[in-house]
Amino acid sequence: MGEHRARAPLVAIRELGTLGGAVSQAKAVNRLGHVVGTSRDGLGRSRAFRWEERTGIADLGPSIGVHSSANDINERGEIVGGGDTGFGDFHAFLLSEGLSFDLGTLGGNESEALALNRLAQVAGHSRIHGAVTKHAFFVPEPGRMLDLGSLGGAASVAHDVNDGGEVVGFAETRAGQPHAFRWTARDGMRDLGTLDGTVSIALAVNNRSAVVGGSGRAFLWTAEAGIVDLGTLGGRTSCANDVNDLGWIVGVSQTGETDRRGHPVTHAFLRTPDGCMLDLGTLGGEHSSAAAIAQEDDGAVLIAGHSHDATAAVHA
């Protein structure tokens, strides 16, 4: 597909702050405008946070571990991520109605939840018993963690799950190359292919089974069209990080410019359903990335991500 670059109209970028440290990153936003992510605190620890308009940025608390991450939030305000257990392990968690639930592992000592749907079904990755290898997992109901396997290789990671229980991510092939996959309970794991013949990763799936991710450049996969190149903001590479049910897509792309260190400038983008890729700008720095998108009932588009500010600090 052709490349379309424009400055997004009527866009307001808002800094969400930190938990006292220098860095914060927003990972997800729901239709209510509630944002979750990870921030350094004043002691330098990585802490999960939740942000709301009314309360601002808030630490999710000690129940999920000293070092923690928050990776997704659904419409009911349930949150998933990972946290240390105090015994040298790091486990996926589900935070629901103020209570934190340890989701366990696939037999290893580490797991992390990256996504959940409206039904609180969870997807992520976990080390398997007796190995450092990670496998994608899906939790369809409390207490039941499914190992989704791979595409013939050693490792896999699940990045998203829709309300129908379709899971997407990447898995290694027999040749050891990471390929984007889509998993369903009926069909198992399906290889979605690549744009460049080597590597691909699926990062999001909407409730219409449209999948987005990266394969050198941002892609959109549908059952009808297969994998389609979405173009860039003028640079060589891009990656699509999320897609909503109306077909709005967000991600990050090189712009074709270079920063003060001579590195490619990367900006967050919003791709409209009619195929126009909009540059979302930054918080005053040279780089930004959009991680997640939601849409309110009045049609307003909500986007979460991170950006460098004028001092090159990274903030949500």
Q: What is the mean pLDDT of residues 181-191?
A: 98
Question: Quick check: 104 pLDDT over 80?
Answer: yes
Read off the CATH number of the domain in which 45 is found: 2.130.10.10
Question: Quick check: 310 pLDDT over 90?
Answer: no
Distances (CA, A) of 6 to 13, 37, 276, 292: 16, 28, 8, 20
Tokens of 68: 């923690």
Residues counted in the chain: 316
Distances (CA, A) of 270 to 210, 275, 294: 16, 10, 12
Q: Which residue has the higher pLDDT, 132 or 8?
A: 132
Question: Quick check: 8 pLDDT over 60?
Answer: no
Q: What is the mean pLDDT of residues 2-22?
A: 71
Domain of residue 164, residue span: 5-315
Looking at every residue in the chain, the average pLDDT score rounds to 93
Distance from C-alpha of 266 to C-alpha of 59, rounded to nearest angstrom: 29
Q: What is the pLDDT of residue 130?
A: 84
| Block residue for tokens 């999948």 | 211
Q: What is the pLDDT of residue 65?
A: 82
Q: What is the pLDDT of residue 10?
A: 54
Under the banding of pLDDT at 50, 70 and 90, the label for residue 91 is very high
| Block residue for tokens 């990050």 | 252
Give percent above pLDDT 70 in the chain.
Answer: 97
Q: What is the pTM of this model?
A: 0.94
> Total structural domains in the chain?
1
